[in-house]
Structure 1
Amino acid sequence: MAATAMEGNASHRAGISSQELLQEMKAFLSGIDPVHGHKLTVKDHARCGILLLRNLPPARGAVLEHLRGVFDEYVSGYILDLNHEGGGGVGGGMGPLGRPGLDDVTQEIQSVLSEFVHSNPEAWAPLVSAWSIDLMGQLSSKYSGRHQVPHASSLNELLQLWMSCKATRVLMEIYVQCLSSMISSCPDACVDALLDTSVQHSPHFDWVVAHIGSSFPNTIISRVLSCGLKDFCMHGASSVVDPLFPSLADKRVPKVASVVGILGHLATRHSDSIKQELLLMFHESLGSPRDPQQHATVPFLLQLAAMSPMLLSTVSGELIDSLKPPVLDQLHQHFAGLSRDDSENLVGLVVHLICQTGPGAYRILQFLVNTAMPASVITTPGLAVRDSVREACHRIIQLLLLNLQKLVYNRPSASLSEPQPRAIPFFDELKGRVRDLCVETLRLERKRHLWQHQLLGLLSVYCGQSCATESLCHLLALASSPEELALAVQLYGGLAASMPGLLPATVRRCVTRLHSSSLPEAQAARLMVNLATLVQWEGPEEEVPSPIGARLAEALSWHVRDLGQLLPHSDPQVSEAAALLLSAVPLPPALSPAQLAGLVRSAVGQFLLALRRGREAAASDCARLLTRLSAASPAALRAVLQQLVRSATHGGSAGLFGGRAQGVPWAPGPPPAATGDSLLDVNRKFGTAVNFGGSVWAVFHAGVIGRGLKPASTVTAPGPQEAAHNLYQLLSLVVRCGSGGRPLTEPDPSLSRQGPPPINPEAAKAVAVALVEGLCPDVTNSELAWPPEDHTHNTVERDLQIQNRFEENPLLFRLLQFVALGRPALCYCSVLLRGLLATLMAHWEASRHSLTTSSPWQLQASCSLVSCMGEGQLLPPVLSNMHEIFHLLTPFEVHLLLLSIWDYMKDNGPLPQKFTFDPEQGQFYRDFSRDGDISKYLDVLHSILHKNIDHLGHLCGRFQV
């Protein structure tokens, strides 16, 4: 009878007698068929248990325990089939799932339990859910090491494997039904079972947690947190855990690790729900205390964050945003009654969590700094925090810096077990916010900049030289006062001992940033100005703790060429700052000719541009740079002076020194035939002819493709005072270069009246050669001999061109006077002297005025020419004094005197061989006694003196041999 009963569907049997129930119980307990006497099969034994489960409630514990074996048998067969098929796990082909005959019995078990849960969920759901979830945990752990079972880390493959097995799928469906039936009333029992099983069988049980959590995310998250908090309180962990040993909470409160694991699985898809639940728990705990769990909520949340960096990063940003002054007050009141030890542990745990925070670290730092800042009188009412809260944040910052310092300097060295030093997530996140930290440091707000500055130093040590150079570069580019610049010096002083080569690396980074255009023009200029300030910094020892100036100058000297490329920058701030920096940096020991030429061209161009803009400080910097360049070598001296002369005497620069500007840019207009232009001018307008006499700024084209023609010049000529000042600046620079760095003694452009310092003959010769090349490019320096007066008929055009250039540009006479000071350099200007003298003689001969004052420029030019020739000792003193009476004579008389000078020069040519070096005076001189009697050249002079004895008699003594 018992066998017949077991063959039918036990779930559909209506009543059963006590005798039959007793026989079924005996069969279930013994496992033997009472009719035939043979051993019951697994299926028959299970159906016997199902019958007892339906009709004998006290036997439910034993029956459910027996049914575990049914599911175990099924899973064993399932795994065995996978091994025989060789499907390679979930992805391969699989044979029949489970042993034959167990599919229908597992379905019967599910039907019976589902019926019980549906009929009375309060009684059956906790029992059945605990049984099903515990059974899944046991099965997952038991078969975790089988060949066809994926590793626990492969959660998706593991989930696919177990959900493909009917037995485990039935168990999962049973638990889901239990949880669904209790979700609206009291799901804690079901969730407790889940947590308990997770503690015992993790990580092999994680696939169950992942599946259930995905099905009931909100319920699982909230109930898991609630059950975890309840267990946290029950085990006496309501006090704060020691931050140095956060793992001890895992042993004291076993479910904490399970809570962390479950939330970790759900975070990939339900991070927003987790974040909302955590924040909700936090804010609810700060209300009026009605439940003892409220006091333990914040320590519980801190413990979860300490054990799970994922949870910490999920909630940290929004939590910081929610900490407004009212919330901070509530938080302070909430923990006001903590003991000293608990308070220390709480603060220590907070500091530990901040150090482990990755994303959002900068927001946390700013919150702490802003909250800990001393109160201000302008703080808006309602936004101020209490002094106690401010002091707490101040204490947290101090402990944070101390803890970070310990972590940075106590990191273990690399080993086989730990190849890399332990990471600090807080610093790993701040690596990308170095510039923001520098900006905050430079605000110089009481304590803020001290904290940020110390943090920058620790971050630089942690990240290495790259971060240190970046920090220094940002500080140098952003500092706008000596106090702010001192912070960069202090940071370098603290890092230099542990980072050899930090300063050269910082300079390389700065130069790279200057050339990569990654800095705005204002910051690029500020960076170079600050570098120049540090190079020249000579403060007290307490202000400059390390000799950064000399080391910085040495490091910058290797980048002179790169810095020189910034001199012609389009932005005036950048170019002037580059000039300032280069004027303070020593030149490298080996500067190639190409580098020297490029640097000289750029410096000269910037000098003239600064004069044109009226930037006296920039012009002074360029002048100092050119002076230092000229002292580098004789070749550098020649290059500087020649470039200065060529650029300053160019037609476009004549107006800068009081002359008439030439070379007005071409603009569209009528055809050339209508304007009468020459063919050469027309060709030059369209760029078919190259003006080799131009300066470095000469443009050899009519425009830029895509941008149109060159714009017309809008530069206005300077006034007389500005022109005189520009002339003095240029001449002072030329004199300093030619005299070894000694400047003019007075701001007077007349060199002959102030006893200028001795001029290097080589420097004067370089100026002379540049003058000749610029004014007469077709004449060689070998044409020093003075031809007869009739020869001037063959050079009329060239002589007139020379006169026009001298008339248009007053600078040329000043440069000629400079050449005269460096004897015998004036000899190399023979062609210019001849051209000027010839044109002046022709003018005075053809003049019909009664007085020479009627031709002021010619009179001034005649006097200057004779005085210059006398200063250069091309004329004896008697002849060189004749210019003193030119303004008292008639034009023809001046012509006769100039003719006498021509005759003397023809007979006594201006040759350098006639000069002798005087070691006592340190300059060359000429002995005119070797040239013979000069009386014959004075006959005309004496005749004119006798003719005008009435008003020239008092000067006769000046012209005696």
Structure 2
Amino acid sequence: MIKQPVLAELQYFVSSVSLLYKGVPLKDSAAATALVKCALHLLEDLPSTRDAVFEYFSLVFNGAVKSYLGNVEKNNPDASAEDDTIQEIHEALERLVTNGPPAWSPLISSWSLRLLGEICDKNSRRRPLDIRTSCNLWLGCQAIRCLVGLTALCFSKLEEAEVDNCIAGLLNTFAQYSPYFDWVVARLGGCFPARVIARMLGCGLKRFTGEYDQVDSEVEVLSYLAAANEEHLRRALRDIIEREAAGNKLTVPYLLHLSKNSEVLAQSLAAVFLEHHTDAHLQLFRSQCKFWPANYNITNVVHIVTGLLLKVKKHSIPVLLTLPRLADRYPWCQELLEMLFVELETLVLEKRSCPLLDDATKEPAKELLWRACLSDCALLQQSGVRLILLVSLRSAHFLQQSIAQLLAGSSGELGSGKPHLNALVRLLGGPHGSAELPKIKPSFEIALERMLLNPTRGGENYWVLRNLVEIVKLERDSFNVHLKKTNCVVVLQELLGKLLAIWEMLMNQQKNTLLQRQGTFSFGNAVIKPEIKRIKREDGGTEQIDTGEGTSRSRTSQIATPVTFDQIHMLAKL
């Protein structure tokens, strides 16, 4: 039986709310405060009235939002008259979630999500705003801030078993009120980014048909969440490829469809491809492509992937250099590679920006390009050279830096084909279509300067001289068409001062090496002998040994890398 005080409160609540629904306002703020307190008492003491109480709270929040939007349109920064009432309701519901039974959390979160969806939909504009603008607009309203904060608090109090149900409720509301509810999902999705991202991808894949699907809302929400949770997005993409690829033949078209509309998604998809481009996956996708929608045939997919790689800021260079290694088994890789270079050449000639070309001059992309030029895979080396030459049309310094790097390159482990020398000669010829002759003097200067600064870098110094000798020989024999543009002999004559300094350095190293073999060390004009100690042999005789206790100067004068006559001989040829 209902107690008398509770019954009186119920009668007061029903009569007051009935008047509100009829359009009769409360007398004053004191009456509004009294009604709120009455509703909160009923919420705790009379569970059967919860629906009615929450309906009243919805009325209050709707009124506060209407006042706020009216002030925004009038450019009036004054607080809404309902703000105090909203704050009181918020604090009371917060206490219920924090200190009350656990059952309050899913109940209150469900009500607040539904109310947020209704408010956003009711007050939506014809043209939906992007997520950041929507956040700025809606979170300026105290009523909306309270609802979002209350929902986030409820989420934090949920048991593990209840989380999936709440995420399902969030995404169902999203499906019902999208695109005006996108900002709420993006904001609250940060409470469980991994789960929300994974569930959104899974739900989107189930709905995807390939025929002009609208995924703008999904893309916006996923991009917003991935901005701070890129690793969660990558993990979700990996999982959906591993889990769904065999069963759902539209997995690849769906992921490409999403990535077309978002640079963040494209970047994560490129990273996932680099990690998981196994033969098993590639063979599976090749067998599935005949089931893809007509607008996702192989030709269209190649065009789509080309566009994605051109706009990706990271991972595009590694993906591009992976394609030549796969081209012998998958012909579409070579087709994609050629289309990429055609598009890149167009962008360079039209002087338009391209993130892929910008990334090529940074670490670690440029190291990958230089290693590609040393490869014995002809297509990979050709791709690396072509990309460096395209970038050189925007950055001459990058070409000079690349030539200097390849001058120190070795093909010792790669056979007698000298792939590094082929790449080096091609770079010396400069890019096609350029009216200016390539300026190779700075490249040689960098390489020779490194020799002087690092005299103990024996292996790389050897290859600098060896490669210069080979280049001069090719130029003198008029063997290579690319070297006809340059005059390496004249350039080396202009750098005679540095060559003589290297000659002197090598002669000093050789002199020190010979002195070491004789048991003495040269330091300036002095000759320093190591300390010798005589020890007695078992047969009664004596012998000398070096104790290693000579002066530190004699020790530090030793050269770590032995210098051979070959380097001096090669320098003499120059």
Q: CA deviation at 1:329?
A: 1.4
2:221 aligned to which of 239, 259, 265: 259
- Counterpart of 1:69 in structure 2 is 62
Report if aligned partners of 2:109, 2:155 keep a CA contact under 8 Å in 1.
yes
- Counterpart of 1:216 in structure 2 is 192
Matches within 5 A, 1:51-130: 66-72=59-65, 99-100=83-84, 103-105=87-89, 118=103, 128-130=112-114
Q: CA deviation at 1:563?
A: 1.2
Go from structure 1 to structure 2 and tell me whether the alpha carbon gap of 1:284 and 1:334 turns closer, same or farther (over 3 Å shift). farther
Structure-2 separation of matches of 1:500 and 1:454: 17
Q: Deviations over 1:163-204 (max 9, x none)?
A: 9x57732453247648959634474342243477673377xx
Q: CA deviation at 1:300?
A: 2.8
Structure-1 separation of matches of 2:35 and 2:318: 65
Structure-2 separation of matches of 1:99 and 1:445: 70
Matches within 5 A, 1:338-377: 338=292, 341-343=295-297, 344-372=299-327, 374=328
2:402 aligned to which of 459, 462, 471: 471
- Counterpart of 1:327 in structure 2 is 281
Structure-1 separation of matches of 2:555 and 2:104: 92
Go from structure 1 to structure 2 and tell me whether the alpha carbon gap of 1:536 and 1:75 turns closer, same or farther (over 3 Å shift). same
Go from structure 1 to structure 2 and tell me whether the alpha carbon gap of 1:369 and 1:119 turns closer, same or farther (over 3 Å shift). same
2:553 aligned to which of 675, 687, 706: 706
Report if aligned partners of 1:351, 1:396 keep a CA contact under 8 Å in 2.
yes
Structure-2 separation of matches of 1:176 and 1:321: 37
Is the aligned partner of 1:410 residue 2:402? Answer: no
Is the aligned partner of 1:29 residue 2:24? Answer: no
- Counterpart of 1:188 in structure 2 is 168
- Counterpart residue identity of residue 370, structure 1: R
Matches within 5 A, 1:393-472: 393-412=333-352, 422-425=353-356, 427-429=358-360, 431-432=362-363, 433-462=365-394, 464-472=395-403
- Counterpart of 2:535 in structure 1 is none
Structure-2 separation of matches of 1:71 and 1:709: 81
Q: Deviations over 1:408-451 (max 9, x none)?
A: 22234xxxxxxxxx232365146434454334333343433333
Q: Deviations over 1:542-566 (max 9, x none)?
A: 73244256x2222222221111011
Structure-2 separation of matches of 1:109 and 1:709: 77
Report if aligned partners of 1:24, 1:48 keep a CA contact under 8 Å in 2.
no
Structure of greater Rg = 1
Q: Deviations over 1:590-637 (max 9, x none)?
A: xxxxxxxxxxxxxxx99xx99xx9xxxxxxxxxxxxxxxxxxxxxxxx
- Counterpart of 2:149 in structure 1 is 172
Report if aligned partners of 1:117, 1:125 keep a CA contact under 8 Å in 2.
no
Q: CA deviation at 1:283?
A: 1.7
- Counterpart residue identity of residue 492, structure 1: L
Q: CA deviation at 1:467?
A: 0.9
- Counterpart residue identity of residue 354, structure 1: L
Q: CA deviation at 1:154?
A: 13
Structure-2 separation of matches of 1:512 and 1:668: 34
Report if aligned partners of 2:430, 2:438 keep a CA contact under 8 Å in 1.
no
Structure-2 separation of matches of 1:503 and 1:128: 68
Structure-1 separation of matches of 2:323 and 2:278: 12
Instruction: Specify every segment of 5 or more residues in structure 2 that has no aligned partner in the other structure, as ranges.
Output: 126-130, 518-524, 533-549, 559-574
- Counterpart of 2:256 in structure 1 is 302
Go from structure 1 to structure 2 and tell me whether the alpha carbon gap of 1:197 and 1:96 turns closer, same or farther (over 3 Å shift). closer
Q: Deviations over 1:650-686 (max 9, x none)?
A: xxxxxxxxxxxxx99786999xxxxxxxxxxxxxxxx
Q: CA deviation at 1:259?
A: 2.4
- Counterpart of 2:539 in structure 1 is none
Matches within 5 A, 1:299-698: 299-338=253-292, 341-343=295-297, 344-372=299-327, 374=328, 387=329, 390-412=330-352, 422-425=353-356, 427-429=358-360, 431-432=362-363, 433-462=365-394, 464-478=395-409, 484=419, 485-495=421-431, 497-500=434-437, 502-517=439-454, 520-538=457-475, 543-548=480-485, 551-570=487-506
Structure-1 separation of matches of 2:292 and 2:254: 15
Identity across matched positions, percent: 16
Q: CA deviation at 1:62?
A: 7.7
Report if aligned partners of 2:441, 2:491 keep a CA contact under 8 Å in 1.
yes
Structure-2 separation of matches of 1:436 and 1:22: 74
Q: Secondary structure at the match of 1:566?
A: helix
- Counterpart of 1:131 in structure 2 is 115
Instruction: Specify every segment of 5 or more residues in structure 1 that has no aligned partner in the other structure, as ranges.
Output: 1-7, 85-94, 142-150, 242-248, 375-386, 413-421, 576-604, 614-662, 671-702, 712-961
- Counterpart of 2:537 in structure 1 is none
Structure-2 separation of matches of 1:486 and 1:407: 27
- Counterpart residue identity of residue 404, structure 1: L
Q: Deviations over 1:452-478 (max 9, x none)?
A: 32223223234x111111222233332
Structure-2 separation of matches of 1:664 and 1:46: 99
Q: CA deviation at 1:280?
A: 0.7
Go from structure 1 to structure 2 and tell me whether the alpha carbon gap of 1:229 and 1:131 turns closer, same or farther (over 3 Å shift). farther
Aligned CA RMSD, in angstroms, stands at: 5.5
Matches within 5 A, 1:42-57: none
- Counterpart residue identity of residue 259, structure 1: V
Structure-1 separation of matches of 2:134 and 2:14: 49
Structure-1 separation of matches of 2:553 and 2:236: 62
Q: CA deviation at 1:284?
A: 1.8
Q: CA deviation at 1:504?
A: 2.4
Q: Secondary structure at the match of 2:314?
A: coil
Q: Secondary structure at the match of 2:502?
A: coil
Go from structure 1 to structure 2 and tell me whether the alpha carbon gap of 1:61 and 1:332 turns closer, same or farther (over 3 Å shift). farther
The aligned length equals: 508
Go from structure 1 to structure 2 and tell me whether the alpha carbon gap of 1:705 and 1:101 turns closer, same or farther (over 3 Å shift). closer
Go from structure 1 to structure 2 and tell me whether the alpha carbon gap of 1:542 and 1:97 turns closer, same or farther (over 3 Å shift). farther
Report if aligned partners of 1:477, 1:527 keep a CA contact under 8 Å in 2.
yes
Structure-2 separation of matches of 1:48 and 1:139: 29
TM-score (ref. length: structure 1): 0.44
Q: Deviations over 1:512-538 (max 9, x none)?
A: 333232993233232233323433435
Q: CA deviation at 1:369?
A: 2.2
TM-score (ref. length: structure 2): 0.69
Report if aligned partners of 1:358, 1:429 keep a CA contact under 8 Å in 2.
no
- Counterpart of 2:571 in structure 1 is none
Structure-2 separation of matches of 1:532 and 1:424: 38
Matches within 5 A, 1:814-825: none
Q: CA deviation at 1:101?
A: 5.1
Structure-1 separation of matches of 2:459 and 2:85: 85
Report if aligned partners of 1:196, 1:255 keep a CA contact under 8 Å in 2.
no
Q: CA deviation at 1:99?
A: 4.9
- Counterpart residue identity of residue 428, structure 2: Y
Q: Deviations over 1:53-110 (max 9, x none)?
A: 9989998998576333344389799999x978xxxxxxxxxx9997555544555688
